[in-house]
Amino acid sequence: MNDFFLVSYRVKGIKNFEEEVSLSFYKKTITKPIYTGNYNVKGIYGMNGSGKSAIISSVDILRNLLINENYLNNPIIQNSLDEIVNKKIEGLHIGTKFLLKWIEDTAYLYEYEVVLKKNNFGKYAIDSEQLSCKNAFSKKDEFIPVFKVKKGEIEYINTKDTVLENEFREKTKNLLSNSSASSLFIMKVHHKKFETDNLDPFSIGTQVLLLYSNNTHIYMDQSDDHTDYFVGDVLGKYNESTKGILEIEASFKNVSQIIDIDKLNIFSCKTDTIPVDKYEAYKDFVKKLKKFIQIFKPELKDIEIERKDKGDNYVCSLNMVYEGFSINSEFESTGIKKLIKLYAYLQEMVQGGIVFIDELDSNLHDVYLCALLEYLMDYGQGQLCFTTHNVGPMDILKRNKRSIDFLSIDNKIYPWKTNGNYSPAKLYRNGMIEGSPFNIDAIDFIDVFDTPEG
């Protein structure tokens, strides 16, 4: 595995989820050595309206909440939450467990939980937040709290550094309802040089949580605004490696340099805003993109960058060069544009990132999709979780463990369990998967359309 691995994720209270939905990505008992190669890709299947996209949306909310201290202060975010938080539950509950490989044969299991509810002013705020940790390999050890926050008040901090605790309490007073403790710790307190021997559970935990969040990336298929970004996650990552104590400590020292971005919109198919000092890295990335697209479109000769100066940035667009002509990437086919936009996310997964992609199959031929997934399963160092309607990849996915989840129309998860030589694709098509009865027939459309007489 790379440094982080998502073990489980659960959510309740988003859209039509009145009961908790839980996804499992790894085996229940964690043993040495940690090998995650058979667990690195998961496909979520479900009928239209079952809530697949809602799960990915909640992951996006969690990531932004942990990384961006001003996330809940954004009126656009408040309006969005007002639309998607379940009106009956009146709150959004999210929980996640993830592994951190510290050094060889040493790993920790972290559990994070957060609840968003409306405050007295009708705005969504953090009602409760808690981070806990344990030795990943111990069956007897229980989770030890790192911090607890309830209704904006600190209930517990696991530290012996009273100066640090007092400083955190003072600088986060009246802020913990609208901002995560992890982001506030980095922005308000993390200014001194930490020595490895002095790192306590609170100092480590808050920074590990932020590193984990920054290692998670979400692609939402319906998001087409392609807002300008500032390159951080791919073109000059602050945490290229966190292997070993020294590397992890170095990451802690540089964690305050994280650039807040919502998505890896490096290739938007419109324009990309690139800081001048990142332009050379951007050029190198475009060369890799060209090789990727040429697999699907061999007639592509080159990808040229058209750039314009804009202060300390370049505004760039991509021109696709063919024999005798070139076109802007905006005018490529929808399938090629989808591949262009996905490339940075797939690259993250290959290099060890945790990636969620909504509707991975949209605009992609299932032959391409199956080949991509097979490569990622065999060579990807990170994790990929995606939603899809395409049953083509099922028989490839079933080679891995915990790789197929069926989301029923009543919001329950039914994991695929190997059953002899049965094909999950055939069973799914025939409505034989529990919770997924495809009981629609051609005659159901009678009287729906205005059929010509005669």
Reported as a single tens digit per residue, the pLDDT across 178-193 is: 999 999 998 888 655 4
pLDDT, one tens digit per residue, over 81-110 is: 999 999 999 999 999 999 998 777 889 999
The Cβ of residue 339 has, within 10 Å, a number of other Cβ atoms equal to 23
Task: Specify the CATH number for 4-215+352-445; select among 2.40.40.20, 3.90.480.20, 3.40.50.620, 3.40.50.300.
Answer: 3.40.50.300
Side chain identity, residue 390: N
Residue (of 185, 117, 202) closest to 151 by Cα position: 117
Supply the angle between the helices 201-214 and 162-171 in degrees, to the nearest 10. 50
pLDDT per position in the chain (454 positions), as tens? 578 999 999 999 999 999 999 999 999 899 988 889 899 999 999 988 889 999 999 999 999 999 999 999 999 999 999 999 999 999 999 999 999 987 778 899 999 999 999 999 999 999 999 999 999 999 889 999 999 999 999 999 999 989 889 999 999 999 999 999 999 998 888 655 444 455 689 989 998 999 999 999 999 875 433 333 333 444 444 334 334 444 444 444 444 333 333 346 677 888 888 989 889 999 999 999 999 999 999 999 999 999 999 999 999 999 999 999 999 999 999 999 999 999 999 999 999 999 999 999 999 999 999 999 999 999 999 999 999 999 999 989 999 999 999 999 888 999 998 777 788 888 888 777 877 767 677 888 888 887 776 5
Helix extents (H) in 190-333: 201-214, 244-254, 279-296
Distance CA 141, CA 145 (A): 12
133-137 long-range CB contacts below 8 Å, 24 or more apart?
133/108, 133/109, 133/201, 133/205, 134/108, 134/109, 135/107, 135/108, 135/109, 136/30, 136/34, 136/99, 136/107, 136/108, 136/109, 137/30, 137/31, 137/32, 137/107
H or E, element range at 84: helix 75-84
- 201 near 332, Cβ under 8 Å? no
Dihedral in degrees, nearest 10, Cα atoms 337, 341, 343, 349: -140
> What predicted TM-score, i.e. pTM, was given to this entire model?
0.89
The C-alpha R_g of the chain, in whole angstroms, comes to: 23
Distance CA 58, CA 77 (A): 13
Domain boundaries, the chain: 4-215+352-445
